[in-house]
């Protein structure tokens, strides 16, 4: 057998290729002057590869719809919106790099996007250093609008506090006070756990089991066998994405779904579609839904058009993720238009506290004190097989919870969150 060695010729080839790449890579750093010079660029950071690729794609669809709608109307102050997309790979480090690249190189007027809270917090920090706006469309951790809040950061999706309190109150009324938790063992899971504990502290009740499962657990049997011994009134499942699918599928195999009611703070359409109808059950928090008067409001033309147009363009109904993207960019564009400027401080001031209607029921506003979007949080019962002719119609929305009733109060937020506007 010939031993592979690094000889001179091979070395020269590799070194040559490397330096060629370096040389040809350089022009990328020269700003492309002239190319759509008058467009307003918005940087979109989403995890296009990896476990959250699905939600990332849906949020992007929402952003595209909002951008196209504004561009059709002539753009912001007569300037078109141009989305510059970057794959943040669900990695806080990569996301920070890409955020800098978008701001320094592409000269974007604001950053939007993210799915995982860790990434949202990382981008929020970088954006704050650079003095750029960041609209967190999809990362739920309380900290984004809590102890890590910044003047330049706004969040569209609900906080974990809102999710847990909305579903906690609704589920306790229906099923009783002995709860069993299946918690993902990382920051997001722990903040959900804290939220539900707070509900129990207010209304009474007990935790009869709390299984901390590592992220990416494939076999849940070890945790599930403990449920029978604990005899809970309700099993609350906090795990997300593929872990959610695995967990519910196995609960069904062990016959647990027939014995115990199940529910959780949030479920998205994406993982539900990955489950067989036999394992689709329970009451879950819903952040937006395309087919209910409770979520869209009565005769809400904007919402109806949004749903119809999404189905036409992408071949399937929009999910909450599509809605996050749409609402986020639509509000940002409105604020720039109102402020007649892309100056971050002026735009931020034009976003906060302004009441608006959009593709959901009622009106909402980004709260002045913490920049959290205050919109209702819904709870739905799952229809395992959808409705006739619509396999996506899996939610029967039952409860609406007003944002103010389920989010921490202004006083609670002011104790931890200091926005720190420049010069303030």
* Residue ranges in contact with other proteins by CB under 8 A: 1-2, 4, 49, 51, 53-54, 57, 185, 211-214, 216-219, 221-223, 225-226, 229, 242, 245-246, 249-250, 253-255, 270-271, 273-279
CB of 174 to other proteins, least distance (A): 26
Asked if 161 and 409 touch (Cβ cutoff 8 Å), the reply is no
CB of 1 to other proteins, least distance (A): 6
Nearer to other proteins, 82 or 270 (CB): 270
Q: Which uninterrupted H or E stretch holds 382? A: strand 377-382
CB of 245 to other proteins, least distance (A): 4
In the structure encoding, which two tokens stand for residue 297, read together? 């409001």
Handedness of CA 377, 378, 384, 390 (dihedral sign): negative
Nearer to other proteins, 253 or 341 (CB): 253
C-alpha span between 397 and 373 (Å, rounded): 21
Nearer to other proteins, 74 or 255 (CB): 255
Nearer to other proteins, 213 or 266 (CB): 213
From the list 289, 323, 271, 277, the residue with the least C-alpha distance to 399 is 289
CB of 319 to other proteins, least distance (A): 10
Q: Which residues contact residue 255 at a Cβ distance below 8 angstroms, ignoring those fewer than 6 apart?
A: none
Nearer to other proteins, 46 or 82 (CB): 46
Nearer to other proteins, 228 or 404 (CB): 228
Nearer to other proteins, 97 or 250 (CB): 250
In the structure encoding, which two tokens stand for residue 318, read together? 């929009």
CB of 218 to other proteins, least distance (A): 5
CB of 362 to other proteins, least distance (A): 30
**What burial class does residue 67 get, using C-beta atoms within 10 Å of its C-beta: 0-12 exposed, 13-18 middle, 19+ buried?**
buried
- Judged by DSSP in three states, 246 sits in helix
CB of 227 to other proteins, least distance (A): 11
- Judged by DSSP in three states, 148 sits in coil
Nearer to other proteins, 146 or 232 (CB): 232
**What burial class does residue 381 get, using C-beta atoms within 10 Å of its C-beta: 0-12 exposed, 13-18 middle, 19+ buried?**
middle
- Position of tokens 């519910």? 248
The secondary structure of 254-289 as a DSSP string is TTHHHHS-EEES---HHHHHTS-GGG--SEEEES--
Asked if 241 and 51 touch (Cβ cutoff 8 Å), the reply is yes
CB of 28 to other proteins, least distance (A): 23
CB of 273 to other proteins, least distance (A): 6
**What burial class does residue 27 get, using C-beta atoms within 10 Å of its C-beta: 0-12 exposed, 13-18 middle, 19+ buried?**
exposed
Nearer to other proteins, 273 or 410 (CB): 273
In the structure encoding, which two tokens stand for residue 7, read together? 């000889």
């Amino acid at each position: 057998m010939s031993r592979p060695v690094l000889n001179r010729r091979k070395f020269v080839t590799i070194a040559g290729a490397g330096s060629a790449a370096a040389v040809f890579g350089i022009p990328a750093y020269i700003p492309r002057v002239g190319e759509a010079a008058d467009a307003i660029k918005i940087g979109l950071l989403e995890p296009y590869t990896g476990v959250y690729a699905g939600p990332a794609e849906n949020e992007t669809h929402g952003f595209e719809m909002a951008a196209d709608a504004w561009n059709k109307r002539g753009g912001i102050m007569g300037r078109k919106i141009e989305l510059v997309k970057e794959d943040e790979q669900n990695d806080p480090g990569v996301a920070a790099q890409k955020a800098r690249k978008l701001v320094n190189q592409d000269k974007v007027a604001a950053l939007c996007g993210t799915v995982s809270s860790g990434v949202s917090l990382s981008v929020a920090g970088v954006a704050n250093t650079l003095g750029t706006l960041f609209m967190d469309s999809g990362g739920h951790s309380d900290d984004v609008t809590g102890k890590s809040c910044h003047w330049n950061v706004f969040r569209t999706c609900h906080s974990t506090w809102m999710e847990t309190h909305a579903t906690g109150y609704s589920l306790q009324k229906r099923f009783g006070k002995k709860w069993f938790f299946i918690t993902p063992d990382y920051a997001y899971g722990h903040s959900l756990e804290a939220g539900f504990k707070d509900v129990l502290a207010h209304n009474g009740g007990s935790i009869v089991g709390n299984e901390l499962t590592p992220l990416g657990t494939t076999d849940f049997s070890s945790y599930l066998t403990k449920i029978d011994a604990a005899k809970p009134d309700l099993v609350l499942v906090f795990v997300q994405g593929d872990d959610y699918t695995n967990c519910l599928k196995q609960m069904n195999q062990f016959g647990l779904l027939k014995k115990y009611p199940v529910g959780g703070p949030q479920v998205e359409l994406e993982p539900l579609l990955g489950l067989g109808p036999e394992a689709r059950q329970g009451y879950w928090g819903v952040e937006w839904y395309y087919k209910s008067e409770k979520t869209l409001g009565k005769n809400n033309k904007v919402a109806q058009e949004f749903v119809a147009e999404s189905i036409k363009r992408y071949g399937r109904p929009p999910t909450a993720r599509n809605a996050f993207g749409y609402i986020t960019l639509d509000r940002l564009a409105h604020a720039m238009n109102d402020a007649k400027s892309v100056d971050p401080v002026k735009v931020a001031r034009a976003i906060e506290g302004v009441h608006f209607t959009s593709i959901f029921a009622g009106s909402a506003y980004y709260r002045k004190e913490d920049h959290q979007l205050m919109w209702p949080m819904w709870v739905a019962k799952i229809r395992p097989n959808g409705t006739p002719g619509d396999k996506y119609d899996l939610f029967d929305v039952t409860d609406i919870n007003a944002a103010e009733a389920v989010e921490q109060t202004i006083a609670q937020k002011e104790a931890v969150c200091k926005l720190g506007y420049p010069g303030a």
